[in-house]
Amino acid sequence: MLCRTPYSKDMTFTLDPGPAISAAVTPADAVLNGYVYVVQDCRGSGASDGHYQRMYAEERLDGADAVEWASRLECSNGRVAIFGTSYVGASAYQAATEAPEGLCAIGINAGPNDFYDDHLHYGGALKLYLAGIWSLSRVLEIARRSGAGKEEIEELAGNVARAGEVICQMPLSRLPELRPNQPDFAPFYFDILRHTTRDEWSRAAMDKDGHRNIEVPALVVSGWYYAVARGSIEHFVNLRRSGATEQAREQSRLIVGPWTVRQAMGGPAGGLDYDQTTAASSRFGREGMSAVHLRFFDRFLKGMPTAEEPRVQLFVMGKNEWRSEDEFPLSRARDVAWYLTSGGGLTSSEPSGEQPPDSFAYDPGDPFPSHGGAWVAPPEAEVGPADQELVLSRSDLLVYTSGLIETDDSTFGIPGDCGACESDACVQVSRLRSRQETRSGSRRLLPRGVLLRSMSGEHGLFC
């Protein structure tokens, strides 16, 4: 069992990674189940040689080489699984696209599938905190590796700790903490700012079209409020549609729980305590997600007969129950159109007649705050299904509310939005947020949509 990490392999063995963080399976669990457990620092990280260029730039070929090396170890039977969470899971995906010899299965937990879309951008809008804290952390790591003095290390560590404050400075291209006058200090951050579309530069780092080259099955685990939930789920969807072998298409599995990444590390988020360990053990037994991964790998690495797992397992929030399915998206689901009506109404019946426009004034000096949702956030910020009462009173927000829904329906899938708007700004970011208001009066945020548009006093259509 192989995982490749940019976070230092020593952390995997000195800290309890919990049921989902770092590697998804602890070293102790793996070894006790008869596996050789290998952790490798990615190029330019931890104790590994080489120069770190940018996120994922080397993971495809380096990961494939590592798989083939692990398969030739004297203690190995030649069958390897590569797996992990977040960056570690994405690096597993990267390696699998090379179809290295010896690879038999992969595990992807909260791993993005595309460098530009979903990982660093959402609907074209940059995930600024993610880009900023990653860059600040890499600068600290590079400084440590280059033998920087104690004073400089402490300064850089302080920048990481206050990343939410650092990235709020303008202009973004001149952040002093990232030393724009020293091109070799944090080139990846400034490269991200320059590449504002999904171009060849971003595809070379990680491309969502790589699943057609994957020959082995994947266990994909996500949470509805993971920052890369959409990309994580797309791993499964794309493998089912275009995996290179029947085994990859038919034997891959998907699990989606109610979690945020913060909950995966333990504790509540968004005011709701959907604890990863509790929710996982209620479905998968006392050993939780670690046992799920081990059963999956036992089947493809050891050839052991294991009980057939449902192809898709979804946690239904609100009902707070797990549901087994054979597919995702669900073919039996039906699209329901909801219509915005002038003055704040929301109805499933198409309004008759022309609706006068609603408007609001936006002040860039007082940006609308993110309160809850699926994002990588500073420690002081709220994530997950947070109650929206704190932000609903703002004047730069349009709110549309339906009547009480009496039917016992479940909502699954990726919401789509289509509307018309115009702005006197050159660039506008639209955030489309769905919320659920319960009988108790709480207004919980559902996963959100974001769209960045360039426009100059023109009427625009967004979908």
Query: Among 323, 352, 383, which residue terminates a domain?
Result: 323
What is the mean predicted confidence (pLDDT) over 181-205?
86
Q: Which of 19-23, 156-160, 381-385, 451-455 has the highest mean pLDDT?
A: 156-160
Residues 220 and 279 in one domain: yes
Could you give the CA distance from residue 49 to residue 47 in angstroms, rounded to a whole number? 7
Residues 344 and 444 in one domain: yes
Calculate the alpha carbon distances from 428 to 223, 250, 353, 454 in Å. 29, 42, 28, 6
Residue 202 forms part of a structural domain: no
Predicted local confidence at residue 449, as pLDDT: 55
CATH number assigned to the domain comprising residue 16: 3.40.50.1820
What is the domain count for the chain? 3
Secondary-structure percent of the chain, ordered helix, strand, coil, rounded to 5:
30, 20, 50
Q: What are phi and psi of 173, to 5 degrees?
A: -75, 0
**Is the confidence at residue 17, as pLDDT, over 50?**
no
Residue 200 forms part of a structural domain: no
99, two tokens: 């179809």
Residue 186 forms part of a structural domain: yes
Residues 168 and 188 in one domain: yes
Residue 120 forms part of a structural domain: no
Query: Among 195, 226, 256, which residue terminates a domain?
Result: 195
Residues 252 and 351 in one domain: no
Percentage of the chain lying above the pLDDT 90 cut: 32
CA 367 to chain centroid: 24
Residues 70 and 219 in one domain: yes
Calculate the alpha carbon distances from 266 to 259, 260, 262, 273, 275 in Å. 10, 10, 7, 9, 6
Residues 447 and 318 in one domain: no
Residue 84 forms part of a structural domain: yes
Between β-strands 449-454 and 427-432, what pairing exists: parallel, antiparallel or unpaired? Answer: antiparallel
pLDDT, mean over the chain:
81
Confidence category of residue 452, pLDDT binned at 50, 70, 90: low
Could you give the CA distance from residue 295 to residue 95 in angstroms, rounded to a whole number? 22
Residues 131 and 235 in one domain: no
Residues 386 and 443 in one domain: yes
DSSP H or E segment with residue 436: strand 435-437
Strands (E), 133-274: 218-223, 253-257
Could you give the CA distance from residue 156 to residue 186 in angstroms, rounded to a whole number? 12
Residues 132 and 171 in one domain: yes
429, two tokens: 């970011």
Residues 438 and 366 in one domain: yes
**68 is in which domain, residue-wise?**
2-115+211-323
Cβ atoms of residues 402 and 435 within 8 Å: no
Q: Is the pTM of this model over 0.85?
A: yes
Residue 23 forms part of a structural domain: yes
38 or 447: whose pLDDT is higher?
A: 38
Residues 233 and 150 in one domain: no
Residue 397 forms part of a structural domain: yes
Residues 106 and 182 in one domain: no
Q: What are phi and psi of 386, to 5 degrees?
A: -70, 150
Query: Among 271, 303, 323, which residue terminates a domain?
Result: 323
Side-chain-facing half-sphere of 433: CA atoms under 13 Å: 25
Residue 205 forms part of a structural domain: no
